[in-house]
Amino acid sequence: NFLKSENKFKSIYVEKNEINFWIFLKATFFSIATFQFLRLSDIYFYQFFKKLNPDVLISNEVNGVIFRYKKFFPQKKTIMYQTVNWINLWKPTMKNFYNIHNTNLKFETDYFCLIHKKYLPFYKFLKTKFIETGSIKNNSFQLKTKKKKFDLGFVSIFDERTQSYYGTNNNPSVMSLQAAASSFITKIIKKIYEKNRKLKIVLLTRSNREDKNINKKKELEFFHRDFKHFKVIKGNNLEIVNQCKMILVHDSSFAFDLISRKKKFLYIEPYNFFNKSLISTFTQKKEGLFWYNGNNEKKIINKINYLLKLKEDKWLKNFNNSKFNIIFDVKNKKLNNLITSLIKK
């Protein structure tokens, strides 16, 4: 819940698939009694929010709730926040993406919280006022300084559809691009480890995330097929990051959380010929201090070793010179102040 603050407003969190039985009965009765050609889901939606009657409705950009809400309650105040780190490859299909759940083609919300102003061109079709806040989810986590237990961490983007090929990951033709790239990077980690077996390397598992329903056993089996020396611990992955000297990331928005916190990391995109690097929204350069779009194994190993040896003060100096900056708004002060101002009106 990112609304943890000193503000005194009351907040209610509604699960995506949550159904109120009594409101559902009322909606069903209304649907039968009025003979109106409205979808039962629309009647339920209207009755639910009429009963809830929030001063401000807040939702992410993915589920389409706010667009639908504005159709029924155009005068109510709404705030939408960005969760997807878009790339130019997806720009032509943006409206199609939002149409999946949307029944209001006006694409309207009062306010939209952007991770970074670089994403503004992706949202030209929205009728809204934009506010640059950084990641709402990332802003809600405060981390205490901890002693570094691990030299290297690797962020998993495991997909359960990935199958074993006779106990290996050596048939990329039957793997997703993400799985093949993860296996490619893991094999590189193995080579680095074989040169220095004192390295402590931790896997930031996707199964650690409460919002993902990932089978931990299958996830570990996938990575252990390429490298058997990953340390694995339970907990919030941001907390685990705080225990690492540096992090490796592939095709994960986690990279932008690390940028906002100025954590040492390397983003690797081996399949950049598809123009699918998440970093490409910020720069078209193939490589820089903390990213590499390519699959030159020697170059990746050299960049990892360089960053492992780079002292923290040098990292921060070089990072600040790179002019990459994403807002880290501790406790979402901007969002909470906006909510407070809207409630007082």
Give yes or no for residue 276 having a pLDDT over 90.
Answer: no
Question: pLDDT by residue (tens digit) across 17-31?
Answer: 677 766 777 767 776
Backbone angles phi, psi at 195, to 5 degrees: -85, -20
High-pLDDT (> 70) share of the chain, %:
91
Query: Exposed, middle or buried, 304 (CB in 10 Å: 0-12/13-18/19+)?
Result: buried
Identify the pLDDT of residue 59: 92
Question: Which residue, chain included where needed, has tokens 């990292």?
Answer: 315
Give the angle subtended at the CA of 240 by the CAs of 298 and 220, to the nearest 5°.
65
DSSP for 140-187 reads T---------EEEEEE----TT---BTTBS--GGGS-HHHHHHHHHHH
Q: Rounded to an integer, what distance in angstroms lies between the CA atom of residue 130 and that of residue 167?
A: 50
Question: pLDDT by residue (tens digit) across 56-114?
Answer: 999 998 888 898 899 899 999 999 999 999 998 888 888 777 775 555 567 899 999 99
Radius of gyration of the chain (CA): 23
- Stretch among 136-145, 185-194, 249-258, 280-289 having the lowest mean pLDDT: 136-145
Q: Rounded to an integer, what distance in angstroms lies between the CA atom of residue 170 and that of residue 63?
A: 37
Closest by CA to 260, choosing from 328, 318, 323, 317, is 328
Section 164-176 average pLDDT: 89
Tokens, residue 340? 């407070």
> What mean pLDDT is reported for the chain?
89
Section 295-302 average pLDDT: 97
Helix 216-224 and helix 177-195, axial crossing angle in degrees, nearest 10: 60
Question: pLDDT by residue (tens digit) across 186-244?
Answer: 999 999 999 999 999 999 999 998 778 889 999 999 999 999 999 999 988 999 999 99
Tokens, residue 117? 């102003």
- Considering the entire predicted model, what is its pTM? 0.89
Query: Exposed, middle or buried, 326 (CB in 10 Å: 0-12/13-18/19+)?
Result: buried
Backbone angles phi, psi at 265, to 5 degrees: -155, 170
Question: Which residue, chain included where needed, has tokens 């009025």?
Answer: 34
